[in-house]
Structure 1
Amino acid sequence: MIDKLEMFMALAAERHFGRAAEVCGVTQPTLSSAIKQLEDQLGVQLVWRGSRFQGLTPEGLRVLEWSRRIVGDARTMKEEMRAARSGLSGVVRIGVIPTALPMVANLTARFTLRHPNVGFSILSRNSMEILEEIEALELDAGISYLDNEPLGRVTTVPLYSEGYRLLVRPGMELSDRDAVRWDEAGQLPLCLLTEDMQNRRIINQHLTDAGATVLPPVESNSVIVLLAHVMTGRWASIVPVKLAELFAEGNGLRAIPITDPDAHHLVGLIAAWREPHTPILAALLDEATRISEIN
């Protein structure tokens, strides 16, 4: 039944029989037959059918929850037996918020020294996508904010506390200051991440609390785009401390502390709440605990 549940999960994710079949590496008739067999076994209709996929029935939504638990447990069992036989190996899929991407190597470099047969697939995702894809078993873990928006039932390990800097090119307004207030930063032409990013929602809140109007002339879901615009000298940006220091070094930019308030938010490793975790994921959580900057 596990293979049928995996096909059902793929159909729920892709919302298209052909794409789901391609993901599973089978033909569309094979996938359709597997879903029908699963319905017959369970005695309920799982999928609204027409000329195309029309969604899951209420029973299908409930079975999807069970499928994720059962398939997750089955994968954990396989991983545990493989680790017992030949040690840790495989690929860990991690979704990382854009502002934390430069810092993920702190974790992966240390981990692969201990476990050289483990590889990583690191994907840029916003905070909501990370939670959704962990739940759907499309990611093994994520690096995201821990204390700003609800996370649901997950395991977390704090990694560091994120502060904020005004990133500017010398010669721009405020570039000669040792510190600026949030309301002052809000008066500059800013380039910021798009509003689907939690970092942007955090910055919006701090600027709004300071009485600033948040209407950045440039938005992007890429931190590289932010850097490129700051380097022109026409725009400034507000980015996390670690990112600001990385960008400023070698690029002739200034990373100026933003005060009043001196805001901080926790960033950490997130994994599904499951006991036991796969051996690889348990080892990753242990490594995150070792390198954490949070006492």
Structure 2
Amino acid sequence: MLLRQLEYLVTLARVRHFARAAQECYVSQPALSEAVRKLEEELDVPLVRRGRKFEGLTPEGERIVVWAQRILADRDAMTEEVRALRGGLNGRLRIGSVPTASTAVSLLTEPFCTENPLATVQVHADLQAEEIIEKLKSYELDAAVTYFSASAARRFRFIALYRERYVLLTQAPPDTGQPAEASWAEAARQPLCLLHPMMQGRRVLDAVFEEVGTPARPRVETDSIASLFAHVRTGRWASVVPHAWLHVFGVPAGMRALPLVDPVRTERIGLLLPRREPISVTGQALAEIAGRVDVAGTLEVVPGRG
């Protein structure tokens, strides 16, 4: 009964609405409300601020939710491990990614699925870096591919995968005398289409443009790497994209991808996992794969270039 009460409370904290929480938990709203009230009685503290509608959690409720998330995650990890011991890993791996690094996720999920044919994978590939940290903290994700940060590395296990670097994607001129590279200052003068400014990938670019004294002023902003390629294809725009995406799209006909220099800027990308023991069996399986797969080398292969 306690685990069910904790599940109801965690769901209520996430959706912040009694009726929607009850719907997600496949119970009636009165049943969910009564279970939360009984939990309050058992703990002898108010957990929910109640009015005509859900008004949030009390400070005690916020702390209990953190404990509940941990307890439920440990229960799920224990269940997965027992099942794996009996018949092989057959749970679900939930992995998140910032959009700029989502191309690397498939390089991990393919061997994971090959080695664990009974397991399934759920990929969330459009998360911001801050969302990833919150979802790892609340055990909504088992792992994530994202940028390295010192603060995250103190709280989570970081397995380096590759270094993201950047290219200027633009239309190829009709003449054959094409430069082999471009400076960030030259890129800033292009009619740019860039990622949304709230995204970590865009904040990295803005920092470099500010460093060289030529802030970028894009006419078009998007939250999709594929959209950047599509806009460049029109012939009107240029963009700055992570080199890893050339492994997915190649350099489309009529375009060119020039490495950006002055300065050469790279960012560490890696797999982030919760620091807890025992680690979930799905997380451990993914960590072992990340430790032996050459993600960096694979991303260097651009279709059409060998």
TM-score band by shorter chain is: over 0.9
SS in 2 for 1:158: strand
1:151 Cα deviation after fit: 5.4
Q: Describe how 1:57-68 pairs up with structure 2 within 5 A.
A: 57-68=58-69
Contact 2:157 2:274 in 1 (8 A): yes
| Alpha carbons of structure 1 residues 214 and 231: separation in structure 2 relative to 1, 3 Å | same
Q: Describe how 1:1-295 pairs up with structure 2 within 5 A.
A: 1-124=2-125, 125-147=127-149, 150=152, 153-171=155-173, 176-293=178-295
Q: In 2, distance between residues paired with 1:34 and 1:134?
A: 26
SS in 1 for 2:173: coil
Contact 1:165 1:244 in 2 (8 A): no
Q: In 1, distance between residues paired with 2:254 and 2:35?
A: 59
Contact 2:70 2:139 in 1 (8 A): no
Aligned identity (percent) is 40
Contact 2:107 2:295 in 1 (8 A): no
1:144 Cα deviation after fit: 0.6
Per the normalisation by structure 2, the TM-score is 0.91
Contact 2:66 2:138 in 1 (8 A): no
Gaps of 5+ in 1: none
Which region of structure 1 is more displaced relative to structure 2, 111-120 or 149-158? 149-158
Deviating 4+ runs (over 4 angstroms): 148-152, 292-295
Q: In 2, distance between residues paired with 1:63 and 1:292?
A: 41
1:158 Cα deviation after fit: 1.0
Give CA-to-partner distance per residue, 1:183-218, whole Å, 9 cap, x none: 111111111111221100000101111111222111
Per the normalisation by structure 1, the TM-score is 0.94
1:40 Cα deviation after fit: 0.7
Gaps of 5+ in 2: 298-306
Contact 1:164 1:257 in 2 (8 A): yes
| Alpha carbons of structure 1 residues 151 and 12: separation in structure 2 relative to 1, 3 Å | farther
Contact 2:164 2:242 in 1 (8 A): yes
1:121 Cα deviation after fit: 1.1
Contact 1:158 1:292 in 2 (8 A): no
Which region of structure 1 is more displaced relative to structure 2, 185-194 or 236-245? 236-245
Q: In 2, distance between residues paired with 1:228 and 1:49?
A: 49
Give CA-to-partner distance per residue, 1:70-114, whole Å, 9 cap, x none: 111111111111111111012211111111222211111111221
Match of 2:302 in 1: none
| Alpha carbons of structure 1 residues 154 and 19: separation in structure 2 relative to 1, 3 Å | same
Q: In 2, distance between residues paired with 1:176 and 1:249?
A: 15
SS in 2 for 1:257: strand
Residue 60 of structure 2 aligns with an amino acid whose one-letter code is E
Match of 2:303 in 1: none
Contact 1:97 1:144 in 2 (8 A): yes
Contact 1:147 1:265 in 2 (8 A): no
SS in 1 for 2:259: strand
Give the superposed CA RMSD: 2.0
1:150 Cα deviation after fit: 4.5
Q: In 1, distance between residues paired with 2:6 and 2:153?
A: 26
Q: In 1, distance between residues paired with 2:208 and 2:72?
A: 42
